[in-house]
Amino acid sequence: MSDTATTPTNATFDQFGLHADILKAIAEQGYTTPTPIQAEAIPVVLGGRDVMGAAQTGTGKTAGFSLPIIQRLLPLASTSASPARHPVRALILTPTRELADQVAANVQAYAKHTSLRSAVVFGGVDMNPQSAELRRGVEILIATPGRLLDHVQQKTANLGQVQILVLDEADRMLDMGFLPDLQRILNLLPAERQTLLFSATFSPEIKKLASTYLRNPQTIEVARSNSTATNVTQIVYEVAEGDKTGAVVKLIRDRGLKQVIVFCNSKIGASRLARQLERDGVVATAIHGDRTQSERMQALDAFKRGEIEALVATDVAARGLDIAELPAVINFDLPFNAEDYVHRIGRTGRAGASGDALSLFSPNERKQLADIEKLIKRPLDVQRLTVDTPVRHHHDERGAPRRERDDRGGSRRRTTGAHERPHGTHHRQQPVDDFFLKPYEPSPSAVSAAAKRDEAPAAPQKPASKQPLAALLGGFGMPRKTTPSN
């Protein structure tokens, strides 16, 4: 039977009994007062109880569980260089590489003044540096399930002394098919442990998982389940499917957006949209599962530095991207899974800041819109958006014209003649010599040569060849086979 926590009023970080080294790190991060999820979760985690926490994305769940974990592990911290003095005592599992990297950065910042060691392991990069760091010993390990099992198999990670387990964004892990990996990992952990489950949404599958692996958890919900932040303005623009790219450019230009995440449903669509935005003068790049981890991290770092205006992403980036004061996100495609909408728009309006969630809606996406409104239990403001200047439609790399869906949901082939040019495109005219515009006039030498040819007697025609047809077939000159007479 789980309990539900109540929100403390006027809580401060000093009231939690955190160590001075932790409070110093919190102050350096610029935190003054805890968010609601932090105010409720920190005392419960410090008390050693299992927690099932639900909060809107961007409300500070990471600090809600990492700060009390650091506090609980401080008595076991050691300055010894021996790896045996630094076993894995806290394990934080995340569904995506980006989220793992983000959580690891936060944990490192919070524990910077302590002797606790932390490390992060995820796929898509070389295992050797990760293995070397694990062999040196770490108390707090942040990992994705697949890469953690790789290290367990290589015997570079030992989970036999884990005291605290955190399942961050557990619903996403189930959506991505990590349940078998989770079960294998949980079987490697000690039975006596504290388990914390945090997520922005609580599906029936998550509740079933919690009932299986959590013991008498305390439920912490700082907002209605599957709700969206009130400080995020949500607008849905109805546009034709073929005008969506132009709509993105218009929204970026009209609103003066210097940083925006644009979400697509497919990896191919994200790459194509990034190329089209570049052609229309928007500095953009794509981030999705087909890009290497190094490419994804480089693109994300450039976006954080403000070198990229539009980061076109699939839902792989909907979890774990923490961009300070991101002004807006744009849904180029409405997600097929309504819960992904909550996570997408949670990239803006983080930590109490305001933000805009702009979604493009075509007539063939009515079902997705209805599912989203049903999930968040409120209608969305739908407005018409007119794209004044149509965006140039480009051929793909193979040279074949693309098929684009029309407003009726069918497909049509867009063909453009060689003489047609996109509106607003101007080419410089090369100077043309007047000689090429005059009618043809034969030169005097050509006229005299033609007259001599007319006066010359006609040459006798060469008689036609009387060679047999066999000569043409390669049989000329071969002796005829004679038949002996009787």
The predicted structure's pLDDT at residue 98: 82
CB within 8 Å of 316: residues ≥ 6 apart = 96, 98, 287, 288, 289
- The answer to whether residue 146 sits within a structural domain is yes
Residues 160 and 97 in one domain: yes
Range of the domain at 332: 232-401
Residues 47 and 25 in one domain: yes
Residues 160 and 36 in one domain: yes
Residue scoring higher pLDDT (376 or 473): 376
Overall pTM > 0.85: no
Average pLDDT, the chain: 80
Residues 210 and 237 in one domain: no
pLDDT band at 347 (very low <50, low <70, confident <90, very high): confident
CB atoms within 10 A of CB 329: 26
d(CA 455, CA 22): 112
Q: Tell me: pLDDT of 289 over 80.
A: no
| Domain limit, last residue, from 357, 382, 401 | 401
Provide mean pLDDT across the span 413-432. 42
Residue 382's domain is classified under what CATH number? 3.40.50.300
Residues 96 and 115 in one domain: yes
d(CA 455, CA 56): 100
The predicted structure's pLDDT at residue 386: 85
Q: Tell me: pLDDT of 422 over 50.
A: no
pLDDT band at 479 (very low <50, low <70, confident <90, very high): low
Render pLDDT for 148-202 as a digit per residue (tens, 0 to 9): 999 999 999 999 999 999 999 887 788 778 889 999 999 999 999 999 998 766 7
- The answer to whether residue 456 sits within a structural domain is no
d(CA 58, CA 350): 5
- The answer to whether residue 31 sits within a structural domain is yes
Q: Tell me: pLDDT of 249 over 80.
A: yes
Q: Which residues are bridge partners to 167 per DSSP? A: 93, 197
The predicted structure's pLDDT at residue 416: 39
Most confident of 121-135, 421-435, 442-456: 121-135
**Poorest-confidence range of 74-78, 278-282, 367-371, 451-455?**
451-455
Q: Which residues are bridge partners to 329 per DSSP? A: 261, 357
In angstroms, what CA-CA distances link 160 with 119, 256, 315, 466? 17, 53, 34, 101
Residue scoring higher pLDDT (66 or 169): 66
Provide mean pLDDT across the span 1-25. 75
d(CA 456, CA 454): 6
Q: Tell me: pLDDT of 413 over 70.
A: no
| Alpha helices (H) in 327-436, listed in sequence order | 338-345, 366-376
Entry field: residues in the chain:
486
In angstroms, what CA-CA distances link 262 with 111, 194, 347, 375? 34, 38, 11, 22
Nearest partner of 221 among 199, 250, 242, judged by Cα? 199
Is the C-alpha dihedral spanning 293, 342, 199, 61 positive or negative? positive
pLDDT band at 1 (very low <50, low <70, confident <90, very high): very low
Residues 158 and 295 in one domain: no
Residues 244 and 117 in one domain: no
Residues 79 and 131 in one domain: yes
d(CA 2, CA 364): 43
Residues 255 and 375 in one domain: yes
d(CA 280, CA 302): 20
What is the H or E stretch that residue 184 is in? helix 179-188
- The answer to whether residue 435 sits within a structural domain is no
The predicted structure's pLDDT at residue 254: 92
Nearest partner of 190 among 149, 152, 159, judged by Cα? 159
Nearest partner of 58 among 342, 357, 359, judged by Cα? 342
| Domain limit, last residue, from 401, 416, 437 | 401
Q: Which residues are bridge partners to 360 per DSSP? A: 237
Residues 57 and 111 in one domain: yes
> What 3-state DSSP class applies to 218?
strand
The angle subtended at Cα 200 by Cα 297 and Cα 244, nearest 5°, is 60
Residues 190 and 170 in one domain: yes
CB within 8 Å of 455: residues ≥ 6 apart = none
| Domain limit, last residue, from 199, 221, 243 | 221
Q: Tell me: pLDDT of 474 over 60.
A: no
- The answer to whether residue 475 sits within a structural domain is no
Which tokens sit at 316?
Answer: 């792989």
- The answer to whether residue 471 sits within a structural domain is no
- The answer to whether residue 336 sits within a structural domain is yes
CB atoms within 10 A of CB 118: 24
Residues 357 and 313 in one domain: yes
SS3 percent helix, strand, coil of the chain, rounded to 5, is 40, 15, 45
Q: Tell me: pLDDT of 402 over 80.
A: no
Number of domains the chain is built from: 2
The predicted structure's pLDDT at residue 369: 94
Phi/psi of residue 331, nearest 5 degrees: -90, 100
Type of residue at 159: L
> What 3-state DSSP class applies to 293?
helix
- The answer to whether residue 457 sits within a structural domain is no
Residue scoring higher pLDDT (439 or 63): 63
d(CA 65, CA 244): 40
